[in-house]
């Protein structure tokens, strides 16, 4: 089933999902067989499924987990890829907004935790890349693979970090510096120290970081992040100009 976004049924579907209106959604699904798998097309092309509507930015819509379960029970495919704004699954979208309860409902419904080709990569890559730590930890707990050095550093997973540092071939200098940047952003002082000892550039900024060096990327105001800032200054990181 394909519906333009201006179609009355599509509008009612979106409002029911965004409003957490389970009775209305149940009625719509009963009146329109196949609606749970519908592709709702946008004016600029592409489409979204009802599960994408539950997980769209900024997430956290009322009754989100229950809506996911209802749609999945009706036959919605949690691994369908929408094409608005990009080809990602609903789990990629939930990972990018840190909506852990909806992400868990999607995983329970059969969502592929290793699905590739999100805006950053897998759902785990999306979650880490957007600092969505609740979903990142959920995905790891449910078996998601930590595939890259920067992911292990961002999560503070020393065991996996050491495995990747010891890989053959060894990680390139830029990979180590990228991982260092993510360790600093997340406030993992000891992980950052390990990477600095392995040759990380204390002023390195990944291309996607908008020129922010690690000392500017530290994300948080708690004790962990203050310790990270102090450690960077003690190790010669240039303080941001005022």
Answer whether residue 75 shows pLDDT above 70.
yes
Specify the pLDDT at position 85.
54
Asked if residue 168 is part of any domain, the answer here is yes
181 within a domain of the structure (yes/no):
yes
Look up the domain containing 162 and give its range.
146-242
Residue 199 lies in a domain: yes
Task: Please check whether residue 17 lies inside any domain of the structure.
Answer: no
In a domain, 61, yes or no: no
Decide if pLDDT at 94 tops 60.
yes
Give the chain's domain count.
1
151 close to 128: Cβ distance less than 8 angstroms = yes
* pLDDT per position as a tens digit, 37-51: 999 988 777 889 999
Residue 50 forms part of a structural domain: no
- Stretch 52-65: mean pLDDT, rounded? 95
Q: How confident is the model at residue 242 (pLDDT cuts 50, 70, 90)?
A: low
- Give the pLDDT score at 38: 95
Question: For the segment 164-202, what is each residue's pLDDT rounded down to a tens digit?
Answer: 999 999 999 999 999 999 999 999 999 999 999 999 999
Give the pTM: 0.89
The CATH number that applies at residue 213 is 1.25.40.20
Residue 129 domain-assigned (yes or no): no
pLDDT of the residue at 114: 94
Do the domain assignments include residue 240? Answer: yes
């Amino acid at each position: 089933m394909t519906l333009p976004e201006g179609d009355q049924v599509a509008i009612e579907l979106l409002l029911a999902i965004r409003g957490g209106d389970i009775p209305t959604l149940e009625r719509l699904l009963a009146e329109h067989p196949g609606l749970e798998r519908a592709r709702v097309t946008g004016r600029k092309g592409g489409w979204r499924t009802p599960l994408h509507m539950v997980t769209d930015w900024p997430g956290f819509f009322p009754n989100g987990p229950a809506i996911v379960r209802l749609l999945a029970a009706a036959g919605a495919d949690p691994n369908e890829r929408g094409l608005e704004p990009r080809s990602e699954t609903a789990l990629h979208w939930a990972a990018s907004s840190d909506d852990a309860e909806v992400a868990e409902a999607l995983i329970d419904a059969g969502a592929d935790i290793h699905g590739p080709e999100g805006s950053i990569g897998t759902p785990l890559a999306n979650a880490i890349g957007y600092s969505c730590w609740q979903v990142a930890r959920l995905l790891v707990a449910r078996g998601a693979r930590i595939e890259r050095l920067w992911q292990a550093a961002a999560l503070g997973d020393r065991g996996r970090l050491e495995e990747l540092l010891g890989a053959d071939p060894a990680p390139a200098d830029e990979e180590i510096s990228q991982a260092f940047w993510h360790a600093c952003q997340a406030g993992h002082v000891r992980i950052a120290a390990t990477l600095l000892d392995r040759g990380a550039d204390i002023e390195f900024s990944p291309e996607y970081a908008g020129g922010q060096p690690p000392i500017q990327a530290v994300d948080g105001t708690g004790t962990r992040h203050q310790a990270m800032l102090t450690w960077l200054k003690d190790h010669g990181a240039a303080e941001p100009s005022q």
